[in-house]
Amino acid sequence: MALTLQRLKQLLTPADSSRSILPFIPRPIRYILLFILLLNARSWPFVWHFRVFRPLIYLRTRSLSLIGKSKEEKRKWYTALSPVGEHPLEKVSVWKSWASPDDSDFNLHLSNSSYAKSLDSARFKSALASFPLFFGDGGWIALGATHFRFIREIPIHSPYQVRVGVAAWDQKWMYVVAQFITFPPKTSKSKSKQPQSLTKGVKEILDKDNAESNFAHAHIQTPANGLDTPAVFTPPVVSSSTSAPGTSWAYSGTLPEGAVLNCVSVSQLCCKHGRSTVPPSLVIAGSGFLMAPDSDEWAMIQGMRKTGEMKKLVKGGWREVPEEDRWWDSYLKGTGIMERVERNLKEFDGMRNGVEAITSL
């Protein structure tokens, strides 16, 4: 064994400069090949996996502090990760990257395929920040479709951000909007007149799809009937006037100062437990959105997790709850948010149904 290792070392590190494991390739060419290999390091095997799961790796590393802690302390730690009290349509997750050479095409800007590659990482980070307790209950989120609207190229070596947020949902699908933005230097006044809100970018992609589609709208629902969870909620009223008239999109406020909107993407997601579909409204309400940390509603949900009731609902027990007793739906309706969600949903349904009609041709 020692002899074999010694022989391998001799092959890799020859005794004189005239010997090499690649004697037929000139040394300058070898250096160039090594430089190209390093330049494309972000495309090496398993690097994509690391980029996607980096937020989870970071979270797991932080959780090492829980070793030796009681179950109650662990539960409190994980509960603190949940977005309790936040607005589901206003929560924005930001993922940062840059247009590396291996992600760029021959036109020296971010290639079309790299938008989807980056969106994988941005979408996972957003899901982990918004629904950590759903993942803790054994849930996962499947991607059903993705739509892109390219507005302006991202030049090679340029840093960019992907801003991700939930825009709408129905009984089966959750629609997530992502903005690709850059911060180019201001060289002229004309460049400063880029769209500064998500509304315009998303409106372009949806208006274009709806204008080109004359297909019938087919409503997709997950059949639901029947597990009685007694709860009387008195939800706080959330004003639906947080967006301007005619503006029904997620986090419809302005982009950061000096930002340029390069691309808008709409992802169609489905919340699952095993092969069973979980209503997005249950996932959102069960995560504590729009609930005060000291509210009775959030205390009830924490109690359900402690007793295992929430996990039963996620596993499919929600189907056994009569529609009039589904506290997650009644709570969200009581907040006033559903009016805005339903406005969004009409637009997204047009885009989705058009694509589904083409698929069935």
| Higher-pLDDT residue of 20, 59 | 59
Burial (CB count <10 Å: 0-12, 13-18, 19+), residue 54: middle
Look-up: residue for tokens 């739906």?
Answer: 329
**3-class SS string, 170-183:** CCCEEEEEEEEEEC
User: Does residue 3 have a pLDDT over 80?
Assistant: no
To the nearest whole percent, how much of the chain has pLDDT over 70? 75
pLDDT at 7: 58
* pTM for the whole structure: 0.76
pLDDT in tens, 122-147: 999 999 999 999 998 999 999 999 99
**3-class SS string, the chain:** CHHHHHHHHHHHCCCCCCCCCCCCCCHHHHHHHHHHHHHCHHHCCCHHHHHHHHHHHHHHHHHHHHCCCCHHHHHHHHHCCCCCCCCCCCCCEEEEEECCHHHECCCCEECHHHHHHHHHHHHHHHHHHHCHHHHHCCCEEEEEEEEEEECCCCECCCEEEEEEEEEEECCCEEEEEEEEEECCCCCCCHHHHCCCEHHHHHHHHHHHHHHHCCCCCCCCCCCCCCCCCCCCCCCCCCCHHHCCCCCCCCCCCECCCCCEEEEEEEEEEEEEECCEECCHHHHHHHCCCCCCCCCHHHHHHHHHHHHCHHHHHHHCHHHHCCHHHCHHHHHHHHHCCHHHHHHHHHHHHHHHHHHHHHHCC
Compute φ and ψ for 109, nearest 5 degrees: -145, 165
Burial (CB count <10 Å: 0-12, 13-18, 19+), residue 285: buried
Residue 57 identity? I
| Higher-pLDDT residue of 246, 152 | 152
pLDDT band at 19 (very low <50, low <70, confident <90, very high): low
pLDDT in tens, 226-258: 333 434 444 444 433 333 333 334 444 468 888
pLDDT in tens, 314-334: 999 999 999 999 999 999 999
Compute φ and ψ for 239, nearest 5 degrees: -65, 135
pLDDT in tens, 50-101: 999 999 999 888 888 888 888 788 878 888 888 999 999 999 999 999 999 9
Mean pLDDT of the chain: 80
Cα–Cα distances in Å, from 104 out to 24, 157, 162, 242? 31, 9, 17, 38
> 186-219 b/e with 16+ CB inside 10 Å = b?
eeeeeeeebbbbbbebbbebbeebbeebeeeeee
Are the beta carbons of 159 and 96 closer than 8 angstroms?
A: yes
Rounded Cα distance between 265 and 237, Å, is: 30
Rounded Cα distance between 38 and 16, Å, is: 26
| Higher-pLDDT residue of 184, 261 | 261
pLDDT at 212: 41
Q: Which domains does the chain have, with CATH numbers?
A: 82-184+253-360 (3.10.129.10)
Are the beta carbons of 353 and 218 closer than 8 angstroms?
A: yes
